[in-house]
Structure 1
């Protein structure tokens, strides 16, 4: 396992430009970075800085964000996927993140699920052609994302399994999962082969690991037992200077 700094938040207070944040991540000994939206980012400069520093780009988000559970938005969603796949290749990102969109009032959950699978199947075909991985991310609706449809790791894994594409996997965010009252050992058991990326932040507050109540030695131990060898995305909001929070996170995670 290796650490990937979410430079949307990490190094942001100290470095106004994303290229300087990449250099700061390199200086801090990090192997990878990721960020959220891409249309406001200088992708060619980011790619050049990544090549200069040797830092990897783990992921960013499909943009504009559109609903996969609302068939009326599927056309716009697939257009966003096509554009984002081109951007991913330009920036050198191997993966793109997708969220579900919001629950539709008075519509059965099965209809939401079926619509999501339809959209994801089409998106996965595009991703296969481009050689890019799509990451479906369940969020939490208790703190940051009220009204979000996909808030369950189990249901997200069900969607990935149903689509059955090598280019669609789950993004398992330990923060969102913990906020929703899930236990990683339970929700990931027997299905971890469907997970493509992991992100972390502590509860409460979404700050660096070690700032809250999560039992990180246990959580990281679960990932080790499951055989995870990929990036751990540090998607947290530092409580102070980035390097101080990063030191605490590294010590807490043991990475």
Structure 2
């Protein structure tokens, strides 16, 4: 293995859903062995499994991806689930809770942004009081998530600007944004203040970070580290090869 993420400038983690065949306790042990800090996208009932290995949950789940903040019919449900996630995250002294715009369902971009602002302004005071950050994910609408509203960096950055809260930011998913817009390093350099979390994966296919895909992760990782980024970079790929070998290679590439 011979990898240790602690030797680099980035705090690395991994998304649990990509290793659904592996018991969480086993995955947590492997993550800790590689010098990583935690596991992404867990719910509170899973927290104990990572804590016993000295890890944190680097992003806590909340409401459904498709049914999100851009559509008022889902606001009450999202508020309830975000509240529960914020409380659980704060109780552990952790930081990040994910949120989504959801699908547009015919809502135009400007109306959707105003709807997101209305929903977030209702829940952000709780997040701010608890020291928790709400993190909206940028996802591609071309391949994986048709009709998802927050599918461009520019739209998400404008939402961050309008809200103006230190407790709201974006999850810049490199795989998704490669599909939608490319120009990954320049976007990171220009808008890093809005990006509080990153996800990795190879494109095409969301597979491991190998020579069969079009992204080169060492320079991307250096670009992120060079911005002074202090958050988490989580690996979110589905390996075609041995998944733990692929994870070791990803850690190695992003230890910069």
Structure-2-length-normalised TM-score:
0.87
Q: Structure 2: where are the runs of 5+ without partners? A: 1-9
Distance 2:219 2:246 in 1: 20
Residues 250, 25 of structure 1: alpha-carbon distance in 2 compared, 3 angstrom cutoff: closer
Counterpart among 22, 30, 35 of residue 29 in structure 1: 35
Give the equivalent residue in structure 1 for 2:3: none
Matched, 1:169 2:172: no
Give the equivalent residue in structure 2 for 1:85: 86
Give the equivalent residue in structure 2 for 1:2: 11
Residues 147, 108 of structure 1: alpha-carbon distance in 2 compared, 3 angstrom cutoff: closer
| Count of aligned positions | 245
Cα RMSD after superposing both structures: 2.1
Contact 2:202 2:213 in 1 (8 A): yes
- Name whichever of 79-88 and 186-195 sits farther off: 186-195
1:63 Cα deviation after fit = 2.6
Contact 1:58 1:231 in 2 (8 A): yes
Distance 1:42 1:241 in 2: 28
Deviations 1:42-93 (A, max 9, x none): 33xx33x433321122112213553211122212211111122123245554
Distance 1:140 1:112 in 2: 17
Distance 1:80 1:181 in 2: 31
Matches within 5 A, 1:1-255: 1-10=10-19, 12-13=20-21, 15=22, 17-35=23-41, 38=43, 42-43=45-46, 46-47=47-48, 49-65=49-65, 66-90=67-91, 93-105=94-106, 107-210=107-210, 211-255=212-256
Contact 1:67 1:100 in 2 (8 A): yes
SS in 2 for 1:57: strand
